[in-house]
Amino acid sequence: MAFADLIPQLPAIELLQRSLHHQRIGHAYLFSGSIRASLELAAMALAKAVNCRKALSDRTPSDALSSDFCDHCDSCIRIGNHLHGDIQWIRPESKSRVITIDQVRRMVNTLALKPNDAEVKVWIMVDADRMNAQAANAFLKTLEEPPGSTLMILLTTQKDRLLDTIRSRCLSLHFSGDSMEAMRTRHAPWLEDFVRMLSAEHSDMMGRYRALGVLTSKLAASRASIEESMKERFLDGLSSEVEASFRKRREDEMKAAVEAEYRRVRTDLLSAFQWWLRDLWLSAEKGSAHQVAFPSLAPEQLRWKPRADRQALLANIELLEDLQRTLLSNVQEALALEVHLLKIQL
């Protein structure tokens, strides 16, 4: 694997590769975008690229950094498995989902030390917007005087929540989300079941509850697969001899990572539904010829016609936005979903 296989044709990746090629890698990057997993992959790729053994041994004096990585050398493999001591990840801690000043201090202290065997020591902060005020201020000091041979990569899906002073000191790269085509492929199958239930008999409350069932089982399946993959990533390969406190920390990190990823997936699922509601409104507003996100789920394809007027169809979109906001505060998920779904007017 290389950059090109990972996230093809993203302007941000090209830009990164150009800076690598011209040896203009900064000390601090801010990667923003809507998909956290893509940001993590990009950060991992950059950590590999600046440390790849093969790239380093191939290089000529005029070409200090390769613009890619091999993914096979010892360094690439350890980074890929989260087992490289010089490449550290910070994530919001469980429960409060906050990055604390202690976490930032730990990072600052180790940044001051020389790397053990990496060329460049890398710190990757996932959900950097979750730094609390104290943590952000402590971090700012490091950003102002970054130690040599270090690279800090901040990741955020909510860039506007970061302090301006932090944003302005990082090289900022935006990773745009995936294409409409990718969204369709990912969501059309479950969405079809879901909207058929919703639209089939709108006088029937049971239809709404059946639809809710489709959504909640989709969410539960997503959570289970996230838990499985995070377990593999955080705990597999952890020797049985590691200290209990270390294992505990990994488990806490894992829980926070599961929660963060689940929230991302849930947002993504509900956004797909929101696109469908937008399709309905657009068709009512501008006629069915207008470009829609899910043509295969258009009313005529479902042999159905919404009764709700344009105003009501527009209100549905706002209702979904409200649901997304509500879910970000710590309300009970099942209740929020039920309350909002029952208010949808079709």
The residues binding Zn ion (CB under 5 A) are: 52, 54, 69-70, 73, 76
Least distance (Å) between residue 12 CB and Zn ion:
21
Q: How far is the CB of 53 from Zn ion (least distance, A)?
A: 5
Nearest alpha-carbon partner for 154 in 145, 105, 21, 163: 163
Shortest Å, Cβ 11 to Zn ion: 24
User: Is the CB of 52 or the CB of 191 nearer to Zn ion?
Assistant: 52
Q: Which is nearer to Zn ion, 79 or 282 (CB)?
A: 79
In the complex, the smallest distance separating the C-beta of residue 87 from Zn ion, rounded to whole angstroms, is 13
Q: Would you say 81 or 229 has its CB closer to Zn ion?
A: 81
Nearer to Zn ion, 73 or 226 (CB): 73
Residue 97 φ/ψ region, left for φ over 0, alpha for ψ in the -120 to 50 degree band, beta for the rest = left
CB atoms within 10 A of CB 82: 16
CB of 73 to Zn ion, least distance (A): 3
52 vs 320 by CB, closer to Zn ion? 52
Name which of 45 and 265 has its Cβ closer to Zn ion: 45
Least separation in angstroms between residue 236's CB and Zn ion is 22
Q: How far is the CB of 69 from Zn ion (least distance, A)?
A: 5
Q: Which is nearer to Zn ion, 71 or 127 (CB)?
A: 71
Residue 45: which residues within 8 A CB-CB, separation 6 or more?
3, 6, 7, 13, 69
